């Protein structure tokens, strides 16, 4: 990775990155390390955490603390905060990047699948914010960045994550107001379609189809998302709170990524079959 920021910008800073072992989160962790920040990466899969922490530590010559944490479980979040403060003595930044969803038509999402996505992407993000505020930021200030998604025109085929991410955008505004007095700045980054590990969960034609309807005619990179997060954490972002930055190549403004089936009574032909067989309902793991 290369950076436009000064390399010691975050010396003596401490960050937690959820989902920091893979994809966008890994790029954020790497960008922070490059600027001298101490980093804790937190997610559920211990093996991936250990592998990424070891690789990052070797590349940047700093300890990276891997911590196993399911953000759907508040006791595990509290343990994450304790471990961070125990090891580094402070917590300056939280990047709520951990999340997941699956493609399915709204009519077919079962209760368990709906709850899993809401609990991870909305409730988990809120619990992380509240825990970070309670354990350190209420008394010392801090910066929080929530990773959301391009759900501005609705999110057909992923209603659960669209609802959760829109709620996080609103939650972010509320926390920005309530916690301003504590010196806590909180913002969102809304990635469009990004060439990342998360893409493996979708049908193989999704990246190319998405690139066709993005005005910049390509997918975003994990580094471009990481750089946007750095802006909110850096002195350049010191007067910005409650905001959401869309990093989507203009994809939220234009394009018809979702084809609306014709109704049979319009005479325009039969409704095409929903491609549900290609998108099996996969509920995120416990």
Ligand X SMILES: NC(=O)c1ccc[n+]([C@@H]2O[C@H](COP(=O)([O-])OP(=O)(O)OC[C@H]3O[C@@H](n4cnc5c(N)ncnc54)[C@H](OP(=O)(O)O)[C@@H]3O)[C@@H](O)[C@H]2O)c1
| Contact (Cβ atoms closer than 8 angstroms) between residue 194 and residue 214 | no
| Binder among 120, 127, 228, 241 for ligand X (CB under 6 A) | 120
Tell the smallest beta-carbon distance from residue 125 to ligand X (Å).
9
Nearer to ligand X, 175 or 247 (CB): 247
| Radius of gyration of the chain from its Cα atoms, rounded to whole angstroms | 19
Nearer to ligand X, 43 or 241 (CB): 43
Q: Which of the residues 47 through 106 are near ligand X (CB under 6 A)?
A: 48, 69-72, 97-100
Residue 191 binding ligand X, by CB under 6 A = yes
Q: Considering only 19-27, 83-91, 131-139, 177-185, which stretch makes contact with ligand X by CB under 6 A?
A: 19-27
d(CA 208, CA 210): 5
Q: Give the DSSP H or E segment for 55.
A: helix 46-60
d(CA 188, CA 147): 6
Nearer to ligand X, 18 or 241 (CB): 18
| Binder among 14, 17, 44, 104 for ligand X (CB under 6 A) | 44
Residue 48 CB partners (closer than 8 Å, separation 6+): 21, 22
Nearer to ligand X, 71 or 214 (CB): 71
Nearer to ligand X, 34 or 151 (CB): 151
Q: Which of the residues 162 through 181 are near ligand X (CB under 6 A)?
A: none
User: What are 272's two structure tokens?
Assistant: 């095409």
Alpha helices per DSSP H over 89-217: 111-118, 125-132, 138-140, 159-178, 206-212
Q: What number of chain residues touch ligand X (CB under 6 A)?
A: 31
Residue 116 binding ligand X, by CB under 6 A = no
Tell the smallest beta-carbon distance from residue 117 to ligand X (Å).
10
10 Å Cβ neighbour count for 203? 12
Nearer to ligand X, 137 or 225 (CB): 225
Nearest to 196 by CA among 225, 153, 231: 225
d(CA 153, CA 156): 9
Tell the smallest beta-carbon distance from residue 219 to ligand X (Å).
7
| Binder among 17, 23, 65, 230 for ligand X (CB under 6 A) | 23
User: What are 4's two structure tokens?
Assistant: 């436009």
Residue 45 binding ligand X, by CB under 6 A = yes
Q: Which of the residues 211 through 270 are near ligand X (CB under 6 A)?
A: none
Residue 113 binding ligand X, by CB under 6 A = no
Cα–Cα distance list, 2 to 133, 189, 264 (Å): 31, 20, 53
Cα–Cα distance list, 164 to 23, 52, 148 (Å): 20, 28, 9
Residue 160 binding ligand X, by CB under 6 A = no
Interface residues with ligand X (CB under 6 A) are 18-19, 21-25, 43-45, 48, 69-72, 97-100, 120, 124, 147, 149, 191, 193-194, 196-199, 284
């Amino acid at each position: 990775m290369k950076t436009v920021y000064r390399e010691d910008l975050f010396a003596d800073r401490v960050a937690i990155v959820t989902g920091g072992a893979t994809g966008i989160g890994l790029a954020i962790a790497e960008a922070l390390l490059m600027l001298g920040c101490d980093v804790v990466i937190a997610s559920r899969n211990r093996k991936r955490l250990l592998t990424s922490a070891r690789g990052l530590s070797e590349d940047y010559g700093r300890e990276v603390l891997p911590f196993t944490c399911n953000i759907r479980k508040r006791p595990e979040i509290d343990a994450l905060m304790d471990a961070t403060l125990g090891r580094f003595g402070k917590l300056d930044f939280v990047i709520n990047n951990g999340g997941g969803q699956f493609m399915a038509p709204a009519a077919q999402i079962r209760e368990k699948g709906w709850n899993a996505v809401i609990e991870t992407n909305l409730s988990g993000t809120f619990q992380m914010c509240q825990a970070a505020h309670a354990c350190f930021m209420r008394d010392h200030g801090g910066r929080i960045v929530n990773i959301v998604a391009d759900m501005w025109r609705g999110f057909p085929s992923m209603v659960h994550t669209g609802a959760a991410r829109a709620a996080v955008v609103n939650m972010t505004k509320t926390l920005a107001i309530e916690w301003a007095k504590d010196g806590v700045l909180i913002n969102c980054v809304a990635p469009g379609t990004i060439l990342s590990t998360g893409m493996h969960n979708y049908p193989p034609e999704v990246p190319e189809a998405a690139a066709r309807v993005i005005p910049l005619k390509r997918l975003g990179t994990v580094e471009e998302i990481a750089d946007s997060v750095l802006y909110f954490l850096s002195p350049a972002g010191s007067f910005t709170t409650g905001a959401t930055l869309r990093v989507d190549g203009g994809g939220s403004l234009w394009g018809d990524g979702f084809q609306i089936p014709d109704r049979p009574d319009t005479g325009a032909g039969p409704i095409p079959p929903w491609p549900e067989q290609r998108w099996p309902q996969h509920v995120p793991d416990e």
